[in-house]
Homo-oligomer: A and B are copies of this chain.
């Protein structure tokens, strides 16, 4: 097994990887930038190095130098950053440092997204309908391609991933601006301006199948995950999943079996090794369209861990070390239901504005079948430099109703005071009819935060509480800490013009 694993990531996923490393007795080397020094992934590592290089976690060269200088023989990229960067993966292999993920030969097949789509199509499996790629000068060509595909459509980066550089286009008049913005963002994020068009499927279900493959030709799946609930409209850039679950509520048993089979077929097309997710869209008629392979651990991977009780990070490490799969397909038991909420430091009361700052109080839910993956704690800073995911809440239930009730119960126990978070939105969402019934899809609108009905007596009691709060707030401060001073600049986010 490895002597030392460098974790080329931060926040909850760095901690997630570290936990498994500790359970495997493998020392970890953490990286941090100055604003992030108080993060748990630093405090709990065996070693930590200040990453003081331009581009930070995107600077593969600097990170490889640190790995070499500190004797790491393997590297876990987490998700985002360099996780799906084929050139970096190849550079690790050349440096003799094991990249914990698929080998470079697999990454290099998957990174050009159009090639990957074409190969799957050639294997006789339906994919989304897509155009030629487009660099800056091809704008007139793209108009023709767009007309051929028909509207609405999506502009996507040829490198893709993480929903960035992806724009929704309802009609021809929106195309030029969307192309320009997509190219600009694709360049900024991936260093590659090329984009392509994809016919939108509306409404759809977004479903991924978790697979594990070893270097000895063994390949299994561990069921699917559905992530069709998103906060905004398709036209908004921040189209992140809010709640994910397994099994996918939209599938019949027959569809589910077919989906698993398709995923394994697609993985075989690329000779896939290590953990990955084969992503599909399903339309209203129940047709599946392959969209992409996520060649990394996903944010929602704990769902699969809860229903299979397989540690996917341990599997990644073992498979990267060349071990054969520990499980056969028949050993995989999919037991019960799991749901995950993403808690982001964003203000649902104010256009989902980022809300970094000082978290005065953190109280996590507990009790049966509740799992939390987070890097925050009472008295920590949420840095403004990284994405807004601060915690994941994942629960298990014997049936979907119990699972949802448990999710609602656990959200009610969660306490985060100091920065605005998406908790109020999630609490509203888990009580929404489309979620309760499991009938949601990608076009389901997230309910607005607004007044909630309560029993009249409760409202009266709350009015009393508000009055007392108001009264106390008028009194001179008595305690030593002016909380308002500590709570950071996020408070001012309200001044955003409406």
Nearest B residue (CB) for A19: B367
When chains A and B are docked, how far (Å) is the Cα of A336 from the Cα of B309? 10
Q: Which of B24, B364, B406, B412 contacts A366 (CB 8 A)?
A: B364
Question: Does A378 reach chain B (CB closer than 8 Å)?
Answer: yes
| A302 neighbours in B (Cβ, 8 Å) | 368
For residue A58, give the distance in angstroms from its CB to the closest CB of chain B.
26
8 A Cβ contacts from A341-387 to B: 361-364, 366-374, 377-379
Nearest B residue (CB) for A375: B366
Q: Which of B366, B374, B405 contacts A23 (CB 8 A)?
A: B405
When chains A and B are docked, how far (Å) is the Cα of A20 from the Cα of B406? 8
Q: Which of B405, B413, B480 contacts A481 (CB 8 A)?
A: B480
When chains A and B are docked, how far (Å) is the Cα of A62 from the Cα of B361? 36
Known pairs A378-B378, A405-B25; A364 contacts B364 (CB<8 A):
yes
Question: Does A437 reach chain B (CB closer than 8 Å)?
Answer: no
Instruction: Tell me if B368 and A305 are in contact (CB < 8 A).
Output: yes
| A305 neighbours in B (Cβ, 8 Å) | 368
Instruction: Tell me if B379 and A361 are in contact (CB < 8 A).
Output: yes
| A368 neighbours in B (Cβ, 8 Å) | 19-20, 302, 305, 311, 371
When chains A and B are docked, how far (Å) is the Cα of A378 from the Cα of B370? 20
When chains A and B are docked, how far (Å) is the Cα of A20 from the Cα of B409? 9
Question: Does A323 reach chain B (CB closer than 8 Å)?
Answer: no
Known pairs A409-B22, A413-B44; A378 contacts B361 (CB<8 A):
yes
Instruction: Tell me if B367 and A373 are in contact (CB < 8 A).
Output: yes
| A406 neighbours in B (Cβ, 8 Å) | 23
Question: Does A335 reach chain B (CB closer than 8 Å)?
Answer: yes
| A367 neighbours in B (Cβ, 8 Å) | 15-16, 19, 371-373
When chains A and B are docked, how far (Å) is the Cα of A309 from the Cα of B403? 12
| A20 neighbours in B (Cβ, 8 Å) | 368
Nearest B residue (CB) for A44: B413
| A19 neighbours in B (Cβ, 8 Å) | 367-368, 409
| A24 neighbours in B (Cβ, 8 Å) | 405
Question: Does A398 reach chain B (CB closer than 8 Å)?
Answer: yes
Question: Does A129 reach chain B (CB closer than 8 Å)?
Answer: no
Instruction: Tell me if A22 and B480 are in contact (CB < 8 A).
Output: no
Instruction: Tell me if A44 and B412 are in contact (CB < 8 A).
Output: yes
**Interface residues of chain A: helix, strand, loop or mixed (majority):** mixed
| A396 neighbours in B (Cβ, 8 Å) | 309
Instruction: Tell me if A412 and B22 are in contact (CB < 8 A).
Output: yes
Question: Does A402 reach chain B (CB closer than 8 Å)?
Answer: yes
Nearest B residue (CB) for A374: B366
Instruction: Tell me if B23 and A402 are in contact (CB < 8 A).
Output: yes
When chains A and B are docked, how far (Å) is the Cα of A413 from the Cα of B23? 12
| A412 neighbours in B (Cβ, 8 Å) | 22, 44
When chains A and B are docked, how far (Å) is the Cα of A374 from the Cα of B309? 24
When chains A and B are docked, how far (Å) is the Cα of A395 from the Cα of B470? 44
Q: Which of B15, B16, B370, B398 contacts A309 (CB 8 A)?
A: B398
When chains A and B are docked, how far (Å) is the Cα of A364 from the Cα of B15? 14
Q: Which of B363, B372, B413 contacts A378 (CB 8 A)?
A: B363
Contact code string A24-44 (vs B, CB < 8 Å = 1, else 0):
110000000000000000001
For residue A125, give the distance in angstroms from its CB to the closest CB of chain B.
33
| Contact sample, A vs B, 25 pairs, CB 8 Å cutoff | A15-B367, A19-B367, A20-B368, A22-B405, A22-B409, A22-B412, A23-B405, A23-B406, A23-B409, A24-B405, A25-B405, A44-B412, A305-B368, A309-B369, A309-B396, A309-B398, A361-B379, A364-B366, A366-B373, A367-B371, A367-B372, A368-B371, A370-B371, A480-B480, A480-B481
Known pairs A23-B402, A23-B405, A25-B405; A371 contacts B366 (CB<8 A):
yes
8 A Cβ contacts from A380-426 to B: 396, 398, 402, 405-406, 409, 412-413, 415
When chains A and B are docked, how far (Å) is the Cα of A398 from the Cα of B308? 11
8 A Cβ contacts from A92-113 to B: none
For residue A40, give the distance in angstroms from its CB to the closest CB of chain B.
8
| A16 neighbours in B (Cβ, 8 Å) | 367
When chains A and B are docked, how far (Å) is the Cα of A311 from the Cα of B369? 9
Q: A22-B405, A367-B372, A369-B371 given; name 15 further pairs at CB < 8 Å.
A: A15-B367, A19-B368, A19-B409, A24-B405, A309-B335, A311-B368, A361-B378, A363-B377, A366-B371, A366-B372, A366-B373, A366-B374, A377-B415, A378-B378, A480-B481
Contact code string A245-257 (vs B, CB < 8 Å = 1, else 0):
0000000000000
When chains A and B are docked, how far (Å) is the Cα of A483 from the Cα of B398? 45
